[in-house]
Amino acid sequence: MKILRYLFRSLRTRIFLAIFITGILSSVIILYATLTNYEERAVNVNTLEAKTQMRILANHLITNNYLQDPNSGTISGELDMLSSLYDGRVLIIDDSLRIVRDTYGIAEGKTIISREVIQCLKKGDAGATSRYDRQNGYIEMTTPIMETKSLEGGDVTRAVSQDQVVRGVMLISISTEPITNTLRILQRKAMIIEIIILAVLFGLSVLIADLVTRPFNRITRAINDVKAGYTNQPIRENAYMETEHISNAFNQLLLREKALDDSRQAFVANVSHELKTPMTSIKVLADSLTAQGDVPVELYRDFMTDITKEIDRENQIINDLLELVKMDKQVSALGISQVDVNLLTENVMKRLRPLARRMDVELTFESARQVTAEIDEIKMSMVITNLVENAIKYNKEHGWVHVTLDADHQYFTLEVSDSGVGIPEDSMEHIYERFYRVDKSRSREIGGTGLGLAITRTAVLMHRGSIDVRSREEEGTVFTVRIPLIHLAGKEDKT
Ligand SMILES: Nc1ncnc2c1ncn2[C@@H]1O[C@H](COP(=O)(O)OP(=O)(O)O)[C@@H](O)[C@H]1O
Ligand SMILES: [Mg+2]
């Protein structure tokens, strides 16, 4: 049972069955139809032929006045011939239903009551019948024996047309044994043909089913090769549109995997490089101290301060990395609560004011309305900190940074605009990448890791919000963040 179900689930079996069954059915139907047709035709031909003979004989009967005088030798001979020709029996019946002649010689003088005979007597030619009795293997036919009426007239009651009178009926049954025999032979031949067709069809179906499913097997093998790691070449199977679709889909998957792999590798390379840079500086500083024999305390202090700076930087990178990795996990990691966004922004800016003062940048905040939203307070404060910090750091002397907050019924919008150095056109698409900095040395000088915007963007996306940037080199930059006021995914952990 299980193996049957297994077999039937195979495309090959199904194609095989479809071809095989269709072929068998149609060949059986054709053969059956041909045989039936042959039988019908043979019976028709026989009937027609016998009818003609009967008609001729009927005329002879009339001209020889056989009905009145059934001892005519020639007519009797003709009747006997007819009956032996068709291996049948001929009855001549007169208009009082009396059997005048029976070629079997057993019913002469008796009266026959038969619907066909009476009908034929009444209606003449229109009443002639023929009936094929398949079961018993004979055809029974009636033909009227008609006399063309003489001018003096006579029996008017039996007149069918104006001048024809039915004088009697000829009833003949002919054996259909020859037809049945031929049919039997044909059937035997058909059986043999059927068996040959069956064998050929079987082989053909197996072959076609195999051919049709071959591309699919090839594709499975190709995919398995990739899975096993023998190759990572794209696969190609264009035999059918379907297999081409599968190939294309698989290749796209392969490409995505490759891209993911590449970016992971690039990330690891970047991380290593970024972590190594402060290390190298520390080593150079320490080496130069140990290389000199007599180092003044002042120099020691100087170098140590530098070393501490490098260690702080290393720390900063590691912290940012951890932050990023932590956020890469899940949206459910959000700690959603009702947060006063105005207050949050003001607090962040208060913390950044010393930095702004140091960089000689004017920092202002403007809010169109009071905004509360369902957000993760810590992550959102990180977003605002990063944006405002960047705006301050990548600014000019006597520059300014404007922060505005607004909201509609669905989103709140935070805009951070500055009068800074701007972002070059070709860097725009990279600024959210990890470790990307437009000006590496400047960012390093200011203490950036290149991770700030990557973290910011991830945090915004976790809130199902959006972040946009417009910038003009040497003029300034505007970052716009839009966050939904109601956090849909976090509904369940609301109290
Ligand atoms: N407001 C801005 N004005 C000019 N450039 C900016 C601004 N914000 C970000 N950038 C550019 O995008 C880069 C990436 O920013 P970020 O990811 O925060 O890294 P970091 O600040 O650590 O350098 C920065 O190095 C800087 O070149
Ligand atoms: Mg930054």
306 in any annotated domain: yes
Looking at the structure of the chain, the number of domains it has is 3
Centroid of ligand 1 to alpha carbon of 261 (angstroms)? 26
Residue nearest to ligand 1 atom 8, measured at CA: 390
Answer yes or no: do 398 and 484 share one domain. Answer: yes
CATH number at residue 74: 3.30.450.20
| Residues 299 and 341 placed together within one structural domain of the fold | no
**pTM, entire model:** 0.56
Share of the chain above pLDDT 70, in %: 95
- Is residue 74 scored above 90 in pLDDT? no
The enclosing domain of 340 has a CATH number of 3.30.565.10
- Residue 425, in any domain of the structure: yes
Give ligand 1 pocket residues (Cβ under 6 A): 386, 390-391, 394, 418, 420-423, 431, 436-439, 443, 448-454, 477
Given a cut of 50, whether residue 163 has pLDDT beyond it is yes
- For 3-137, strand residue ranges (E) read 89-94, 99-102, 130-133
Is 323 inside any structural domain?
no
* Residue 231 placed within a domain: no
Q: Are residues 305 and 378 in the same domain?
A: no
Residues 283 and 166 in one domain: no
Give residue 390 CA to ligand 1 midpoint distance, Å. Answer: 6
311-339 residues labelled b (16+ CB within 10 A) or e (exposed): eebbeebeebbebbeebeeeeeebebeeb
Query: Is 13 within the bounds of a domain?
Result: yes
277 domain-assigned: yes
Instruction: Mark the residues whose beta carbon lies below 5 A from ion ligand 2.
Output: 390, 448, 452
Nearest to 285 by CA among 271, 272, 295: 295
Instruction: Domain of residue 157: give its range.
Output: 2-181
CA terminus-to-terminus distance, the chain: 55
Structure tokens at 156: 């008017």
Q: Which ligand is nearest to the CA of 392?
A: 1
Judged against a pLDDT cut of 60, whether residue 493 lies above it is answered with no
* Averaged confidence pLDDT in the chain: 89
- Over residues 67-94, mean pLDDT: 86
Predicted local confidence at residue 431, as pLDDT: 94
* Domain shared by 301 and 359, yes or no: no
Q: 316 is written with which tokens?
A: 């900063």
Domain boundary among 181, 201, 225: 181
Of 247, 279, 312, the domain-final residue: 312
Residues 341 and 288 in one domain: no
Residue 158 has pLDDT above 60, yes or no: no
Which pLDDT score, from 0 to 100, does residue 169 have?
93
User: What confidence score (pLDDT) does residue 492 get?
Assistant: 43
Q: Which of 355, 384, 402, 431 to mutate to test the pocket of ligand 1 (most atoms within 8 A of CB)?
A: 431
Q: What's the DSSP call for residue 67? A: T
What sign for the dihedral angle of Cα 252, 254, 259, 260?
Answer: positive
Atom of ligand 1 nearest to the CA of 479: 1
| Model confidence at 183: pLDDT above 70 | yes
Q: Are residues 305 and 338 in the same domain?
A: no
Each residue of 361-376: pLDDT tens digit?
999 999 999 999 999 9
Same domain? For 297 and 362 the reply is no
Task: Give the number of the atom of ligand 1 that is nearest the alpha carbon of residue 448.
Answer: 22
CA of 395, closest atom in ligand 1 = 3
For the CA of 443, the closest atom of ligand 1 is 23
Same domain, 378 and 443: yes
